[in-house]
Amino acid sequence: MGDIFKKVQSGDPLNIPAATYNAFVAAAKAHAGQGPSTTAPQTANVMGSTVPFKNTTSLALPRFSILCIDSPIFTPSENLAEFQNNIAFNGVAPTGNYWHIANFGVLAVPLKPGAIGPAVVHGLTPVKVEVLQDEEAYQFAGVVTANPARTDALRAQFLNWGARILWRESGLGIKWAIVRLSNPVWYLN
């Protein structure tokens, strides 16, 4: 079947396939609070700001996965109006890029490769955190850029690079936590 969300240009005939129309109706119903849609997964109960992220990895990522901001989906040179009116990002797995350290989102829905969905970029959200040392000083969490990069969990750390841990399960290993995103990043000289 081709791309059911293919855009049309001004002057093109408008033929809306049933699959496209039904997807729009399902999204509108979910947005209007008429219960969960059969085509869209339930979103997380987060208390923060979300923006659309495109999963540019080759992996199907579950809800609460971490993607780093790579670039806007719409750039000013490609489509100025979309850039100005629809902030959305291409999301990538964390790398050693310093830009990724504090510029990431936590997926509010599962995303297949190439799919677009909301990610929390500011505020409170549940997320998994890798705890290597059970010390009270490790009150922050950041992306894991080791090879392979981790999209399934942040890592507890001493430095404030991305998220403040408000609560987490006790013990070592991968633990559930509630974090606050968009903390200031303190660089040490």
Q: What does the pLDDT look like over 58-106, one tens digit per residue? A: 999 999 999 999 999 999 999 999 999 999 999 999 887 777 777 899 9
- Residues counted in the chain: 189
Chain segment 135-183, per-residue pLDDT in tens? 777 888 888 877 667 899 998 887 776 799 999 999 999 999 999 997 5
Position 34 pLDDT exceeds 60: no
Domain count, the chain: 2
Q: Of 118, 98, 114, 113, which Cα lies nearest the Cα of 162?
A: 98
Is 53 exposed, middle or buried (CB count within 10 Å of its CB: 0-12, 13-18, 19+)? buried
> Per-residue pLDDT averaged across 105-128, rounded?
95
**68 shares its domain with 107:** yes
**151 shares its domain with 174:** yes
Q: What is the pLDDT of residue 109?
A: 95
**1 shares its domain with 76:** no
What is the span of the domain harbouring residue 100? Answer: 41-181
Q: Of 48, 23, 26, which Cα lies nearest the Cα of 37?
A: 26
Decide: pTM greater than 0.75: no
